[in-house]
Amino acid sequence: SQKENVAYLYDAANQTRTSILKQIEGDWQTLEGLAVSLRELVILDENQIKALWTQLSNQPHRQKNAAESFDICRIKDYIVEHLKEDLSLETIANKFGYNYSYLSTCFSKYVKKGFKQYVNELRIQHACRLLTESETTVSEAGSESGYSSQSYFTQVFKKYTGCTPSAYQLRH
């Protein structure tokens, strides 16, 4: 079915992203400075990577931006892996060694949206999958998506989808 295909593609994309992240972390000395968001990464062949590395390493003023971009990728992956937990920008800043205000600015610069909006969008996407692909109740979907308050979950869900979680579940 279409839902199974979407779920399969989503899982495959997540596995690919995780594999790429592990590769980059393992070869960080070689790939340091590569300013490419993992979520937007196109499969590069070895020659393209070497060319990018040479280009970036010859431009020291870009190395800071490349490191920031890589950290934002790591932070985005951390968010996905810990979506169910209480995630605040302050906690993430401390975990990754950033000043709160600086991280807020960097996150918005690279992700093109605020931290809270980004987290809420991921959580609502996750809740939508739970509501359509399993026998999960609305309460369980909210909790499994990181919302401790059912009313806040419903409020945010409606903001992003235009309907309540119950109505969404009935339609899908």
Residues (pLDDT < 50) of the chain are: 28-43, 61-62
- pTM higher than 0.75 for the full model? no
Count CB neighbours of 152 within 10 A.
11
What is residue 100's predicted lDDT score, i.e. its pLDDT? 95
Q: What is the pLDDT of residues 26-43, one digit of tens each?
A: 554 444 444 344 434 444
Distance CA 164, CA 142 (A): 12
What is residue 172's predicted lDDT score, i.e. its pLDDT? 87
